[in-house]
Chain A
Amino acid sequence: MEKRKLRDLIGTKLMLVITIFIAFLFFLILFTLLTGSFFIIEDQSITELLFSSNWRPRSGEFGLLGVIIGTIIVTSIAMIIAVPISLLTSVYIVEYAPKKVRQVIRPFIDVLAGVPSVVYGLCAFIVFVPLIRDFVAPFFGEFNSSGFSLFTASLILSIMVFPIIISLCIESFNAIPIELKEASLSVGATKWETVKKVIFRASGPGVLSAILLGFGRAFGETIAVSMVIGNQEKIPSSLFNQGQTLASIIAQNYVDVMSLPRLQSALIFVALILFIVVLIFNMLGFLILRKARARWNY
């Protein structure tokens, strides 16, 4: 009897400690990144880091403006491509597709979600880079594009966020009570009108949080982007120019990071920006999703 009670006590306390560790991991990461980037913030002011576009690690200049603009452009274009396509796909899967198609497509999307990002990057390297260089960029009047460009990175990012947005959207579409749809259909609305006016409205928070989570993924994606974006820290002048994003600049400098303490601190600062931005967007996403879940009970 004593032995069982002791085991209960030890087991429970152990679980408690591990759980506290995870709750604190979050603050530990924040704290570590803050202390790590302290060196560079002290060395150059935050405004200089954020609003100067001179990135010259060897002469000690770490202006991130070009990189930040590159990140915003790449992420927003990726989302502009990905959101309508994934929304329409999930509507099709939930409302239109015959049962057989549905059963085939779901595993497809799961597999798409599990493909490592380096494989996506390699694919973009093999297919998209020549495609952009030889066809797309000349079509838009850019004849000097090397194919490594902001647009290439956006394309592969949009493919990478498809599965996230689609699976979350499907989940929230499925949670809508069937009576809502029936009511709309019975007063003579077409299927699409039902989708537009009932389903999108009822699952609005779910869809919004799916988009926010997809955004977080696109924003923080490192490897695939760094393989095709061309790695130039200047302010990009065109979509078909080379650029850099916050995440890919870290991957780009991974060789030098051990030997240059200032660069190291600057990259920790970049990681801090990534962490905080993703934190804000994910927090928003999850709070919205929680509200939606409470409303429709899923």
Chain B
Amino acid sequence: MELLNRRLLEEKIFAILMICSILIVVGSLILIFTVIVFNGASSISLEMLTQTSSPRFYLGKGGGGILNAIIGSLLLALPATAVAFLIGISIALFLQRDFTHPTISNFIRLCLDILWGVPSIVYGIFCMTIMIGIGMSTSLLFGIIALTLLEIPIITRSIDESIKMTPLGLKESAYSLGSTKFETAIKVVRRQALPGIVAGVLLGLGRGIGDAASILLTVGDSNFIPDSLYDSTAALPTMILNLLSMPDPNVQSKAYAVAFILLIIVLIISIASRSLIKKSTKYVIK
């Protein structure tokens, strides 16, 4: 009886500990959202969203906004995601048994998994080294390259996971109708992988738009909307850092507004991906 009580007591203690830890996890998420929403919403204005920034904006003398950072971020993340998607889907299709021996494809998967874990600052430094090596300066182009490298493993692994689910019979029937390997991959398997594609692309986009470390060293800063690939540009995450490094608390509070916008963008992407994955799963043949 004594023993049983002790065992039940242990059970209870750990049940309480579990509740505590889940409250900590959920609480920290709620904390982050409330802090950013409360601080951000109070310092945001329509003016900020429609004007580009200026030196006066950073000094807190009124005027100016973050339009160039919003557009800069989109100009960085959207092309990077598009390129990473094209590269990712080619690799993911190629990793199938039809094209590659499983030993080799497993080695490539290991490479991708390791690239996934590489900190984004390393991609930043890598692109910076190449940029300086070929004698160019900070520009939109190298920001896009850094983000592309960052997103490739994310997108590829996601597509790869869903391609693995393709029923063999489906491919076999495509082959028996006389289609080539490439046609089967592009027309049949790609369709099956649609949920994975949607999930991967949106995951990569969310990661790319919010990542500061990889673009910190590669895009520089500017107060204008970039005209060409070779211009420096501002972006939302780097702008938060710049605003925060200013001594004036009023200017610092604008960083909260920028973070608020960034958080909203990321949330929209996350919600969109949930509903799109659900929609696209309908067309998958099991």
Q: Which residues of A contact B (CB under 8 A)?
A: 4-5, 7-8, 11-12, 14-16, 18-19, 21-23, 25-26, 29, 32-33, 36, 84-86, 88-89, 91-93, 96, 105, 107-112, 114-120, 122-123, 125-127, 159, 162, 166, 190-193, 195, 213, 216-217, 219-223, 227, 247, 250-251, 254, 257-258, 264, 267-268, 271, 274-275, 278-279, 281-283, 285-286
A23 to B35, CA, bound (A): 42
Nearest CB of chain A from residue B191's CB, rounded to whole Å: 16
B186/A84 in contact, CB under 8 A: no
Whether A126 contacts B35 in the complex (CB less than 8 A), given A22-B152, A108-B29, comes out as yes
Instruction: Check A166–B15 contact: CB distance below 8 A.
Output: no
Q: Verify A123–B206 contact, CB threshold 8 A.
A: no
- B94/A16 in contact, CB under 8 A: yes
CB-CB under 8 A for A251 and B213, given A19-B91, A33-B129, A227-B241: yes
Please tell me if the beta carbons of B240 and A118 are within 8 angstroms of each other in the complex: yes
The B105-151 residues at the A interface (CB cut-off 8 A) are: 107-108, 110-126, 128-130, 132-133, 137-138, 149
Give the top 5 A-B pairs by smallest Cβ distance, nearest first: A220-B119, A116-B210, A8-B180, A11-B182, A282-B117
Fill in one digit per residue for B160-192: 1 if any A CB lies within 8 Å of its CB, else 0: 000000000000000000001111011000000
Contact, CB under 8 Å: B119 / A222 = yes
Q: How far is it, in angstroms, between the C-alpha of A88 and the C-alpha of B20 when the chains are bound?
A: 9
A-B contact count (CB 8 A): 249
> Given A92-B21, A274-B122, is A118 in contact with B129 using a C-beta cutoff of 8 Å?
no
Minimum Cβ distance to chain B for residue A272 (Å) = 9
Give the interface of B toward A (CB within 8 A).
Answer: 7-8, 10-11, 14-15, 17-22, 24-26, 28-29, 31-32, 35-36, 39, 87, 90-91, 93-95, 99-100, 107-108, 110-126, 128-130, 132-133, 137-138, 149, 152, 156, 180-183, 185-186, 203, 206-207, 209-213, 216-217, 237, 240-241, 244, 255-256, 259, 262-263, 266-267, 269-270, 274
B221 nearest CB neighbor, chain A only:
A255
Contact B114 A120 (CB under 8 A): no
**Residues of the B chain whose Cβ atoms lie less than 8 Å from the Cβ of A32:** 126, 129-130, 133
- Residues of chain B within 8 A of A264, CB atoms compared: 132
- Does more than half of chain B's interface fall in helix, strand or loop, or is it mixed? helix
A19 and B95 contact, CB distance less than 8 A: yes
Docked CA distance A263–B41 (Å): 40
Q: Which of A23, A159, A258 contacts B28 (CB 8 A)?
A: A159
Instruction: Give A272 to B150 CA distance when docked, in angstroms.
Output: 17
Q: Are B111 and A22 in contact (CB under 8 A)?
A: yes
The answer to whether A15 and B36 touch (CB under 8 A), given A26-B114, A85-B24, A222-B119, is no
Is B128 in contact with A257, judged by CB distance below 8 angstroms?
A: yes
Given A192-B10, A282-B113: A122 in contact with B259 (beta carbons within 8 A)? yes
- Write out the residue numbers on chain A whose beta carbons fall within 8 Å of the beta carbon of B113: 282, 286
Q: CB-nearest residue of chain A relative to B129?
A: A36
**Which of chain B's residues have a CB closer than 8 A to the CB of A11?**
182, 185-186
- Contact present for B122 and A126 (CB under 8 Å): no
Interchain CB contact (< 8 A) of A92 among B18, B107, B212: B18
Given A117-B213, A118-B262, A251-B121: 11 more A-B contacts, CB < 8 Å: A12-B182, A18-B91, A19-B95, A19-B108, A112-B28, A118-B240, A122-B240, A190-B8, A250-B125, A257-B217, A282-B113
Residues B25 and A126 in contact, CB atoms below 8 Å apart = no
CA distance A118 to B121 in the complex (A): 13
B266 and chain A: residue at smallest CB distance: A114
Tell me the complex Cα distance, A105–B94, Å.
36
Shortest beta-carbon distance from A35 to chain B in Å: 8
Chain B residue, CB-CB nearest to A5: B180
**Docked CA distance A213–B119 (Å):** 11
Asked if A119 contacts B32 (CB within 8 A), the reply is yes
Q: In the assembled complex, which residues on chain B have CB atoms less than 8 Å from the CB atom of A117?
A: 210-213
Residues A122 and B126 in contact in the complex (CB < 8 Å), given A19-B90, A117-B211: no
Contacts of A92 in B (CB 8 A): 18-19, 21-22
Contact call A118/B259, Cβ cutoff below 8 A: yes
Q: Given A15-B91, A18-B87, A275-B118: A123 and B11 within 8 A (CB)?
A: no
